[in-house]
Amino acid sequence: MPGSDVNNSVLWPLLLYAAVVAFLIIAILALSYILGQHHQDKATDQPYEGGIEQTGSARLRFSAQFYLVAMLFVIFDVEAVFIMLWALGFYELGWAGYIGVSVFIVQLVVVLIYEWGIGALDFGPDEKKIMRAYRRKIKNQSV
């Protein structure tokens, strides 16, 4: 396979490309600011909430489990970086590298199983739990 540890391609077209992209974006934004209409009516300055009046600001304290996703991402994406580096030097590292990465991936899987077990991967309501509670309720009513 070709050795690509030396970067022998020219890089300035990348910068030129970035400059043209930046110019295009600024041009589009400026042009739409100039061409677009600007008017002021009774409800122009209100946020859209399905046609009714706004009920409080959207700067609310939103109880989000999404932080869990962020933590999962940090764990698995940083570990993905190690796997990527190993994949790059795959043939040079040989079986020794393979065994090393196997141990590493087994650790990953253990973490995954643990997170699965404590319910960190359940994002919605658990339908089995809901059904169980529902059946219990039905049973109590019929008695």
Partner 1 sequence: MTVMQHVWIVLGVLFVLLNIGAGLIWVERRMLALWQDRLGPNRAGPLGILIVLADTLKLFFKEDWVPPFADKWVFIIAPAIVVASVLMSFVVIPFAPGIVVADLNVGLLFFLAMSSIGVYSIVLGGWASNNKYALLGALRGASQMIAYEVFMGLSLMGVVMMTGSFKLTDIVEAQRDMWFFIKQPIGLVIFFIAGIAETHRLPFDIPEAESELIAGYHAEYSGMKFGMFFIGEYLGITLISAMTATIFFGGWLGPEFLPGWVWFFTKTFAFILFFILLRASLPRPRYDQLMEYGWKILLPLVLANVMITGAVLLWLKG
Which 84-143 positions form the footprint of partner 1 (CB under 8 A)?
A: 84, 87-91, 94-95, 98, 101-102, 105, 108-109, 112, 116, 121-125
121 CB contacts (<8 Å, ≥6 apart)? 72, 115
Within 8-47, which residues bind partner 1 (CB under 8 A)? Answer: 9-14, 16-18, 20-22, 24-25, 28-29, 31-33, 35-39, 44-45, 47
The Cα–Cα gap between 98 and 83 comes to 10
Pick from 42, 61, 62, 141: which binds partner 1 (CB under 8 A)? Answer: 62
The Cα–Cα gap between 28 and 36 comes to 11
The Cα–Cα gap between 82 and 107 comes to 13
Total of residues contacting partner 1 (CB under 8 A): 72
Smallest distance, partner 1 to C-beta of residue 134, A:
19
